[in-house]
Amino acid sequence: MLRWIRQQLGFDPPHQSDTRTVYVANRFPDHGHYIPQRFADNRIISSKYTIWNFVPKNLFEQFRRIANFYFLVIFLVQLMIDTPTSPVTSGLPLFFVITVTAIKQGYEDWLRHKADNEVNGAPVFVVRSGSLVQTRSKNIRVGDIVRVAKDETFPADLALLSSDRGDGTCHITTASLDGETNLKTHYSVAETAVCQSVSQLESLQAVVECQQPEADLYRFVGRITVTQHGEEIVRPLGPENLLLRGARLKNTKEIFGVAVYTGMESKMALNYKCKSQKRSAVEKSMNTFLIIYLGILLFEAVLSTILKYAWEVEKNWKEPFYNQKTEQERNSSPILKFISDFLAFLVLYNFIIPISLYVTVEMQKFLGSFFIGWDLDLYHEESDQKAQVNTSDLNEELGQVEYVFTDKTGTLTENEMLFRECSINGTKYREVNGKLVPEGMTDDSPDGSMPHLIGEELLFLKAVSLCHTVHISYDQPDCLVGGGDPFSHANGFSSNHMEYYASSPDEKALVEATKRIGVAFACSSGDTMEIKTFGKSEKYKLLHVLEFDSDRRRMSVILQTPSGGQVLFTKGAESAILPFTTSGEIEKTRLHVDEFALKGLRTLVVACRHFSPEEYIDVDSHLNAARTALQQREERLQEAFSYIERDLHLLGATGVEDKLQDKVQETIEALRLAGIKVWVLTGDKHETAVSVSLSCGHFHRTMNILELLQQRSDNECAEQLRRLARRIKEDHVIQHGLVVDGASLSLALREHEKLFMEVCKNCSAVLCCRMAPLQKAKVVRLFKTSPEKPITLAIGDGANDVSMIQEAHVGIGIMGKEGRQAVRNSDYAIARFKFLAKLLLVHGHFYYIRIATLVQYFFYKNVCFITPQFLYQFFCLFSQQTLYDSVYLTLYNICFTSLPILVYSLFEQLVHPHVLQNKPGLYRDISKNSLLSFRTFLYWTLLGFCHAFIFFFGSYILMGEDTTLMGNGQMFGNWTFGTLVFTVMVITVTLKLALETHFWTWMNHFVTWGSIGFYFIFSLFYGGIIWPFLHTQDMYFVFVHLLSSGSAWFAIIIIVITCLFPDVIKKVFYRHLQPTSTQKSQSLSAPQAQALSCVESMCCYQHGQSGCSRLASLLEQMTRQCQASTNHCHTSSRSNRSWSDTENSYSNDRSILTLSPIEATHC
């Protein structure tokens, strides 16, 4: 604890330098001047609170919310000064909200503590004092040698020392880190790989120097110095030598590694991502409305205070004998008295700010988010994956999207690659029956005959089968040990023996293709790669791997051939290879690459370079110098790679097909009809991207395609943008599509943002190709921060899409084949792109209308609640007398009116889900936050004031003049009058919500009528007992006497009808004279709802019906549709709930939100 405090104060920084020195087995130098560095322990802490700081920390976080802080101030004011209402009226609702939120957050943190304890207490084996000792994971220290067995996870970030294999390699999976399930090979240095026993490790003298911890999973810079026979040997360490915490050991019996990063300094812990801090447009509107209502509150309090003193200065005003001021009050300062009265009025009117709004919104978002996961239409059977909600704070934002930015590969396409064509030495080939056939020829040779591939063709196939990072998994690991031939035929392997695993689907497709053709990648053991060329074995020694990166866009291997020579094979994008080629059929290959791209194929170019012995020595020294550097290693490696990958000989190119996902075209068209613009952002070359855009419907064949490509200067880019802008203005009718490449985009965003935005906004579809990950995020940010501030959505499946997903208002991850980084960093995750249509058009629509009505209704009912209190002050000389009893003040928002709006906000459906999907244009009705516009807010607020005036003056007119209406001659008092106003108010605001409800379930009926019934029962119970803990019994038998008066019942009925009847008339006239598209569609959805009886949810509901449906229409529907409904239900039951594949693509709906036929007896 003391150390932590010192670190926080800056006296004891945890890291003294840019590098850390780790002594293997904690064997420190003998000299006395060495001061060991201090490192974090191995405990993982994902929890937010401890048992000591939970209360203060949680309270601090909750009172940072303006509404909670406001009510805390009001509560303290009530405690400090004499106010008209009890402190309980503010304290109890505040305590309820704070307690519910604290319990929720405390429970979630308890689960995190529980998970942390399981991880930190896991048993591990470490080498200490010459033996293998079992201890807990949390006790591992930096420098400890840890033993990990097969299928165990690594307890810390370990530098691999040795494994049970002679070459010191091991295989791991990183599924828990990045979702990639393929096997990855990691290596140890040769000097430590021989230490395979505890005794050998105990005698090992080695020091690891590496960078301080950083979050990048794929970056590690270090070196290990091994002392042997008095000589120090230095070897470089990179990501391939580091075993990350959370990864799992596979296909290896055991490994030993030294802990370099532990606990919260491990890369996995540094990648812990906090919950999204994105805020929805509804939340921003809600905060704006709160500020407006705070202004109304201050105005009412100031006005009441001024009028009170204006009344008292009147000459004919006399101080009431029953409420005379004390001597202290007469002598007190006028300013203090004014402030005190102002605060008293502030307390009296404070309920105009709805404290329970926040907790209700949180509950609605949390409970409502389950519907996405339960939706069967968003479930993908093939992969057994359902939709996933990572944050429920943005549910309603799904209904406000204006721009969709989507990745191409793996998002619009399947990311399942299939080899189609290749170009070798200027000749095009295609694969037919496992053979390469030149273009224009047919495969008429008998099966099993040897293909005639010589020279360049064979070298090309060898390059493809050797230049990769593919791993082989053997189903029978000993099949090769016993001398058995794993080949079932001359051209390939038996699938029972081995399977290829690759981090890139392209690589796997290419290696499998060469295997079918006859050049098969057979084995990779240490630094040896074996291929079989038509059955003949060839072994190559792997000298160096020049890893792929997004800047170079290529990867290379340097091999020693069986004849002893050195050769470099490289493959990558044509823009990354062709500029560095000096020989080969360059122009023909370039044409073939363009042809492949026009067919929608993914292209790679393959080249080679042969080294002389002198050249290789030079290359080897460059690489070793760069890889052992501790400072600026990446920059030096890039320089070395550029020095090596030049003077290339072009061998050919490959074309791999990536199939479109199912229903991509229909989904994009539906989004377009909904008024959503779709942008495709991809790293592919522009011919491939344009071809895919045309095939998926993003670009239409009749669309005029504009291009902003290969711009080399700012002036050139600006001139081209002006030409495009003029062309768009001249062609008014034609739809335009824009294609931009990454280089031109960088120029456009540098100094010509406005011009670029103008062109883009006038285009129906935009395609950005050759995009780097950060460029994708920049494009999203450009639109996100534009003056119109449209709501953006980004969707992708790979790690390169994470920055775009995090930048957009709503980020959606696709559960694809490129790992789970996109899913982990997204707000929502779906299995296929086609599910996006229902997620936005149905779920987004429902979430938005529900929460928009919830927010408006909350403000409306609180205006209705507190305005009569304000009006009452005009009749009581502004004496701050309260109109309602304190218990009613407390329970109004907590009990009497809370459940109906919560249930409404969970189940309301303006239109049937089928109609929303079949008519995407309905999405436009709720766009641009239309239901929370200032006009709508003003309507609900004025409606609240209007109803409040009717409550107060209606009760006053009907009952205020005659105060002896009770049968026993007793007079009505102020508490009776206030209770009458409160009763009318509870009934009216509840029935107002009933009028707004279109989709009635048994739960809506239960909470609507149950809330009114509960109010009557509670009032009878509360007023029928003398409560000993109350210092006054103002409400004793008041409610009973009120209900015993026929005049009171008459007043209640008249006032409620007076309030709601104009609203009903307005709805009818607007529906018939100016119906919206949504209202027109409600009539279409009605016939569909006739034959549907239940909702497939946690409950069995009645069929949806309009809250304003006429009785005659209902009777007609019952008599006409009853038989049809019964027949339909029995038919549905007999057909075992089958869904027709011939229906419209948007009507195949099996959601719990969808009304689905179930046998009537189930209800």
Residues identified as active-site: 407
Task: Please list, residue by residue across 628-642, b when 16 or more beta carbons sit within 10 angstroms of its beta carbon and e when fewer do.
Answer: bbeeebeebbeebbe
Q: For the CA atoms of 407, 410, 414, 419, what is the dihedral angle to 10 degrees?
A: 110
Sheet with 401-406: list strands edge to edge. 388-389, 828-830, 810-814, 791-796, 401-406, 677-681, 765-769, 736-741, 704-708
User: Residue 410: helix, strand or coil by DSSP?
Assistant: coil
Tokens of residue 569, six digits = 């094979």
Is the CB of residue 501 less than 8 Å from the CB of residue 183? yes
Long-range Cβ contacts of 778-787 (<8 Å, 24+ apart): 778/749, 779/405, 779/679, 779/681, 779/745, 779/749, 779/804, 780/405, 780/804, 780/807, 780/808, 781/807, 782/749, 782/753, 782/757, 783/403, 783/757, 784/808, 784/809, 786/757
Is the CB of residue 791 less than 8 Å from the CB of residue 402? yes
Q: Please provide the distance, in angstroms rounded to a whole number, between the alpha carbons at the two ends of the chain.
A: 61
User: Residue 880: helix, strand or coil by DSSP?
Assistant: coil
What is the rounded CA–CA span in Å between residue 643 and residue 627?
Answer: 14
Q: What value, to the nearest 5°, has the Cα angle with vertex 616 and ends 504 and 555? A: 15
Tokens of residue 76, six digits = 């303290």
Phi, psi of 401, rounded to the nearest 5 degrees: -70, 135
Judged on CB neighbours under 10 Å (0-12, 13-18, 19+), 660 is: middle
Tokens of residue 440, six digits = 């224009």
CA–CA distances in Å: residue 916 to residues 333, 375, 379, 837, 840: 65, 15, 19, 10, 10
What is the rounded CA–CA span in Å between residue 962 and residue 971?
Answer: 9
Is the CB of residue 226 less than 8 Å from the CB of residue 235? yes
Enclosing H/E stretch for 1022: helix 1002-1023
What is the rounded CA–CA span in Å between residue 871 and residue 1110?
Answer: 37
What is the rounded CA–CA span in Å between residue 560 and residue 541?
Answer: 5
Longest CA pairwise span in the chain (Å): 122
Tokens of residue 171, six digits = 């295989």
Phi, psi of 1001, rounded to the nearest 5 degrees: -120, 170
CA–CA distances in Å: residue 319 to residues 342, 345, 404, 440: 20, 20, 69, 111
Q: Give the contacts of 720 (CB within 8 A, at least 6 positions apart).
A: 708, 711, 744
Angle between helical axes of 613-627 and 633-644 (0-180°, round to 10): 160
What is the rounded CA–CA span in Å between residue 1018 and residue 608?
Answer: 87
Q: What value, to the nearest 5°, has the Cα angle with vertex 1099 and ends 1095 and 1100? A: 50
Beta-ladder partners of 146: 126, 257
Q: For residue 889, how many C-alpha atoms fall within 13 Å in the half-sphere facing its CB?
A: 26
Is the CB of residue 768 less than 8 Å from the CB of residue 682? yes
What is the rounded CA–CA span in Å between residue 302 and residue 304?
Answer: 6
